[in-house]
Amino acid sequence: MGPSPAYSYTACVVEAEVEPKTGWISVPKIWIAHDIGRTINPVLARGQVEGSVYMGLSEALMEEQVFRRLPPKLSSALVHKIPSLLEYKSLTSLDMPEVDTVLIEDPDPNCPFGAKEAGQGPLLPVMPAVANAIYDAIGVRIDELPITPDKILKALELKAQGKPGRVGPNHFPAVPYPEPLIVPPPWEGGDGKEVKKNDAAAVV
């Protein structure tokens, strides 16, 4: 995660309530357990983890970049609809749920004092956990962020029509990925520079 040499793991449980008539989402509580290696400063470490919950939940429910295409007679340019932090929203303290933080200590011998990281790892499971909690609450899947009440109503409407109750992009964007380069490490006979030609199957 970021500059950390180790892999950290986080588990997150989200409690969500959805009002079926309006799609209004409330998140009263979040439990988060973070594998930190060793906690050096417990207060700061918890603060980092809870801050990640805050950022993750903001990303899940609010933060968005919206662009609007102007009509052709006005240049067809894309205009940013939310160009300032006034309208680019993140949670306020009133929107923040109760957070139950657990630090899992399993010192990593390759890390300083056995400590891994607590900065960004705990952010990542929050968004999928919110999406899953909403699915559990109301039975529809929102496949893009932010998850907003209007998308929930749209998905509920689709579901009522007998279609899949999903809203979001329906395909993965066509990314022109380059061919993978395979550089065998010394213990596989390479010198660290030689590029093995195009034979992914040969390297296990």
Applying CB under 8 A, the site for other proteins has a residue count of 30
Least separation in angstroms between residue 13's CB and other proteins is 20
Q: Residues 103, 117: contact at Cβ < 8 Å?
A: no
Is residue 21 a contact point for other proteins (CB under 8 A)? yes
State which of positions 174-203 bind other proteins (CB under 8 A).
none
Query: 């609450």: which residue's tokens?
Result: 137
Is residue 144 a contact point for other proteins (CB under 8 A)? no
DSSP the chain: -TT-SS---EEEEEEEEE-TTT--EEEEEEEEEEEEES-SSHHHHHHHHHHHHHHHHHHHHT----EEEPPGGGTT-EEES--STTTS----TTTPPEEEEEEEE---TTSGGG----SSGGGTTHHHHHHHHHHHHHS-EE-SSS--HHHHHHHHHHHHTTS--EES-SS-----PPPPPB---GGGT--SSPPB-S-GGG--
Pick between residue 25 and residue 36 the one whose CB is nearest to other proteins. 25
Select the residue interacting with other proteins from 86, 160, 175, 201 (CB under 8 A).
Answer: 86
Pick between residue 38 and residue 159 the one whose CB is nearest to other proteins. 159
- Please choose, out of 2-10, 32-40, 75-83, 123-131, the segment that lies near other proteins by the rule CB under 8 A: 75-83
Pick between residue 111 and residue 153 the one whose CB is nearest to other proteins. 153
CA atoms within 13 A on the CB side of 18: 27
- Please choose, out of 32-40, 116-124, 149-157, 161-169, the segment that lies near other proteins by the rule CB under 8 A: 149-157
Least separation in angstroms between residue 166's CB and other proteins is 17
Is residue 92 a contact point for other proteins (CB under 8 A)? yes
Is residue 72 a contact point for other proteins (CB under 8 A)? no
Residues that bind other proteins (CB under 8 A): 17, 19, 21-24, 26, 62, 68, 70-71, 73-74, 79, 81-84, 86-87, 89, 91-95, 148-150, 153
